[in-house]
Amino acid sequence: MAAVASGRCVGVRCRLCLMLTGQWTGLCGKAPSRFYSGSATLPKIEGANVTGIEEVVIPKKKTWDKVAVLQALASTVNRDSTAAPYAFQDDPYLIPTSSVESRSFLLAKKSGANAAKFIINSYPKYFQKDTAEPHIPCLMPEYFEPQIEGISEAALKERIKLKKVRASVDMFDQLLQAGTAVSLETSNSLLDLLCYYGDQEPSADNHFHQSEKSEELEEAIEENNEKSKKAGHQFGVTWRAKNNAERIFALMLEKNSHSYCTMIRGMVKHRALVQALNLYTELLNNRLHADVYTFNALIEATALSMNEKLEDKWNKILELLKEMAAQKVKPNLQTFNTILKCLRRFYSFGRLPALQTFREMKAIGIEPSLATYHYIIQLFYQHENPSKGSSLIIYDIMNELKGKKFSPKDPDDDMFFQSAMRVCSVLRDLELAYQVHGLLNTGDNWKFIGPDHRRNFYYSKFFSLLCLMEQIDVTLKWYKDLIPSVFLPRSQTLIDLLQALDVANRLEVIPQIWKDSKEYGHSFRNALKEEILMLMARDRHPPELQVAFADCAADIRSTYESQDARQTAPDWPANPLNYIAVLFLRGGRTQEA
């Protein structure tokens, strides 16, 4: 079914109402056009006959994506701010109350699915019965073992496709011993495999590990490591000298630029920087041309090399770029992003080059992605110390980005919002934060918020800034909106909120906050409890409020008591005791005091 569906579809996306109306006309149009071939001509004739009526234009038949209807429906649903995110089961016991819990719940869900898949794939013979009609390929067991036996190039290709590093290296060796030549293409793909995975098997649990981003060291590219399904790169994979990749590279009779390029890329990926640069000179000696990806890798290699001064490194990078232009290799977005990423290590020296690079990028017409802006922000706001007269470039950036929608172009795109919000909070600029948040809500940009921890960071910073700078009513509105449906607050966030309440003299909300805190699992956070107690005990309040406060205090006292029961050390900090006593007295509960 999937195959057929993909054959039929040309995805056309429209707005909601257009979609629905278009859907109906599409349907109506489809049916007649399929069965009555002549119907399309009828209205035209009519129109031609009747003078004074403009000609009827029949719209082109619209083909709709198979998910068009669903997408239309999905776009009507807005976030429900009183509910937990959809990903969680809608059961009171299974709704997370803290960010730690939410992460573990999601992981549990995912790992359950993965475990099931693992079992199906490990014992395919038990899962052969296929009752689904039409056939659902992805639910059937997958085959990971190579089928073709014997020594042949086809077998080698299959093993490469299945990403089996060891097996394909062995097959290659066997082929060479048998005397058959391996074609250049196959050799190259073998090299690719080895270089990408650094002579390691790709991790079998591909789906289980999140592949880390490129900052990790990767093992040297073993030649044509089998492209096993392992995409998880282990830490500390370094390029071992004389590994399989280099060996096979040496054995290859003819090498084209692709071979060199992939070797260089692999070396850089696995941090064999000097060798990469040497290989590059060899490539030039052989009068071959490197492609843009190789240049990107070389730039990274230059920037990461240890022993040079920053200006020298920068000059070398400029030289590489000039060679690139001379060889008529077109730079792409990754080129500039790599440069900016490496400039981060240059600290303040890198600011001017970074701006120059940015302008170059715009001059050539390459549209910067969110990752570009992220690197620039990182470079200019590296230390959280605004007293040095921090740069105001963030304002430029936000002006530039107003209203733009983005699509993923760089793996680091999802770090932008986090760093932007960090800068906002450092600069204490609420308006800027609103701008950033507005950008987040434009179009599909919300998807760039990144994984859980980044989203939590973003919203915590945002909310803290709101507590600091915004009017208390607006803050409380945001509070109701964001918590718990978007993020679950840490105790620090709640403390910030309490302080904002204090400043705005709205202490009557405190019992409510305490109730929420209990819900979010902060009952045993001493700092939070002390804060609450102190705020309540500090001034005298009208009597009803005192009663509410006294209830609250009783509650807190009970948490202390239960906590003591759990732990052996029965130390009540002095301050809470004071506060509780005072509150009880004021609330007319002298007995309990």
Partner 1 sequence: MFPRVSAIIPLRLLSPFPLCPGGSEAPAAAIVRLGAPHGTVRTKNEVHRYFGTNNVICNKKDEQSAPTRDISKETETQESVKENTKKDLLGIIKGMRVELSTAKVQTTRPPNRRQLKSIEATTGRLHKVPEDAPKKRTKSLSPELVAAAAAVADVLPFDKQMTKSELLRQLQQHEEVSKAQKDGERAKISVSNIISDMKIAKSSTARVSTRPVHQIQFDEGSNDYVGQKKTNDLKKSLRKNMLKGKRLNIFDLKAVTEEAPETETAPSLWDVEFAKQLAEVNEQPLQNGFEEMIQWTKEGKLWEFPINNEADQLGFLHMAAVEFLTARKSKD
Phi, psi of 15 (to 5 degrees): -70, 170
- Residue 457 structure tokens: 């960071």
d(CA 167, CA 197) in angstroms, rounded, equals: 14
Question: Residue 31 interacts with partner 1 (CB under 8 A)?
Answer: no
Given candidates 413, 420, 482, 522, which one binds partner 1 under the rule CB under 8 A? 413
Contact between 517 and 494 (Cβ < 8 Å) = yes
Question: Residue 119 interacts with partner 1 (CB under 8 A)?
Answer: no
Question: Residue 569 interacts with partner 1 (CB under 8 A)?
Answer: no
Asked if residue 484 has a cis previous peptide bond (ω within 30° of 0), the answer is yes
Listed in sequence order, the residues at least 6 apart from 542 whose beta carbon sits closer than 8 Å to its beta carbon are: none
Measured from the CB atom, the residue of 44 and 447 that comes closer to partner 1 is 447
Measured from the CB atom, the residue of 464 and 523 that comes closer to partner 1 is 464
**At closest approach, how far in Å is the CB of 314 from partner 1?**
11
Contact between 314 and 299 (Cβ < 8 Å) = no
Q: Tell me how many residues contact partner 1 (CB under 8 A).
A: 102
Phi, psi of 486 (to 5 degrees): -105, -45
Measured from the CB atom, the residue of 351 and 589 that comes closer to partner 1 is 351
d(CA 68, CA 579) in angstroms, rounded, equals: 60
**At closest approach, how far in Å is the CB of 239 from partner 1?**
16
Among the candidate windows 117-125, 173-181, 277-285, 402-410, which touches partner 1 by CB under 8 A? Answer: 402-410
Question: Residue 53 interacts with partner 1 (CB under 8 A)?
Answer: no
Given candidates 428, 453, 477, 480, which one binds partner 1 under the rule CB under 8 A? 428
Given candidates 288, 427, 509, 593, which one binds partner 1 under the rule CB under 8 A? 427
Residues 307-336 that bind partner 1 (CB under 8 A): 318, 321-322, 324-325, 328, 330-331
Residues 275-294 that bind partner 1 (CB under 8 A): 293
Given candidates 31, 42, 53, 67, which one binds partner 1 under the rule CB under 8 A? 67
**At closest approach, how far in Å is the CB of 591 from partner 1?**
30
**At closest approach, how far in Å is the CB of 446 from partner 1?**
7
Question: Residue 565 interacts with partner 1 (CB under 8 A)?
Answer: no
Closest CA to 266 of 230, 217, 329, 307: 217
Burial class of residue 118, CB neighbours in 10 A (0-12, 13-18, 19+): middle
Measured from the CB atom, the residue of 345 and 428 that comes closer to partner 1 is 428
- What percent of the residues of the chain are helix, what percent strand, and what percent coil, each to the nearest 5? 65, 0, 35
- Residue 99 structure tokens: 């960010």
Question: Residue 234 interacts with partner 1 (CB under 8 A)?
Answer: no
Question: Residue 94 interacts with partner 1 (CB under 8 A)?
Answer: no
Measured from the CB atom, the residue of 246 and 414 that comes closer to partner 1 is 414
Closest CA to 534 of 486, 481, 566, 495: 495
Residues 433-472 that bind partner 1 (CB under 8 A): 444, 446-449, 464, 468-471
Question: Residue 490 interacts with partner 1 (CB under 8 A)?
Answer: no
Closest CA to 336 of 313, 353, 311, 312: 353
Helices (runs of H) and strands (runs of E) counted in the chain: 26, 0
Among the candidate windows 66-74, 167-175, 507-515, 583-591, which touches partner 1 by CB under 8 A? Answer: 66-74
Given candidates 230, 265, 270, 374, which one binds partner 1 under the rule CB under 8 A? 265
Question: Residue 411 interacts with partner 1 (CB under 8 A)?
Answer: yes
Largest CA distance in the chain: 99
Given candidates 46, 205, 396, 564, which one binds partner 1 under the rule CB under 8 A? 396
Given candidates 112, 134, 443, 588, which one binds partner 1 under the rule CB under 8 A? 134
Given candidates 204, 426, 554, 593, which one binds partner 1 under the rule CB under 8 A? 426
Given candidates 153, 360, 519, 592, which one binds partner 1 under the rule CB under 8 A? 360
Neighbours of 275 (CB within 10 A): 19
Q: With left for phi above 0 and alpha for psi between -120 and 50, is residue 191 left, alpha or beta?
A: alpha
Question: Residue 387 interacts with partner 1 (CB under 8 A)?
Answer: yes
Residues 9-28 that bind partner 1 (CB under 8 A): 27
Residues 144-203 that bind partner 1 (CB under 8 A): 188-189, 192-193, 196
Contact between 165 and 193 (Cβ < 8 Å) = yes
Given candidates 107, 116, 148, 503, which one binds partner 1 under the rule CB under 8 A? 503
d(CA 140, CA 128) in angstroms, rounded, equals: 7
Question: Residue 403 interacts with partner 1 (CB under 8 A)?
Answer: no
**At closest approach, how far in Å is the CB of 125 from partner 1?**
12
Question: Residue 79 interacts with partner 1 (CB under 8 A)?
Answer: yes
d(CA 453, CA 323) in angstroms, rounded, equals: 41
d(CA 32, CA 12) in angstroms, rounded, equals: 21
d(CA 560, CA 554) in angstroms, rounded, equals: 10
Question: Residue 56 interacts with partner 1 (CB under 8 A)?
Answer: no
What's the Rg (C-alpha) of the chain? 32
Question: Can you tell me whether residue 181 is helix, strand or coil?
Answer: coil
DSSP run (H or E) holding 146: none
Question: Residue 358 interacts with partner 1 (CB under 8 A)?
Answer: yes
Given candidates 15, 135, 345, 404, which one binds partner 1 under the rule CB under 8 A? 135
Q: With left for phi above 0 and alpha for psi between -120 and 50, is residue 10 left, alpha or beta?
A: beta
Given candidates 156, 167, 343, 495, which one binds partner 1 under the rule CB under 8 A? 495
**At closest approach, how far in Å is the CB of 271 from partner 1?**
17
- Residue 588 structure tokens: 């007319």
Given candidates 357, 418, 517, 523, which one binds partner 1 under the rule CB under 8 A? 357
Listed in sequence order, the residues at least 6 apart from 255 whose beta carbon sits closer than 8 Å to its beta carbon are: 249, 286
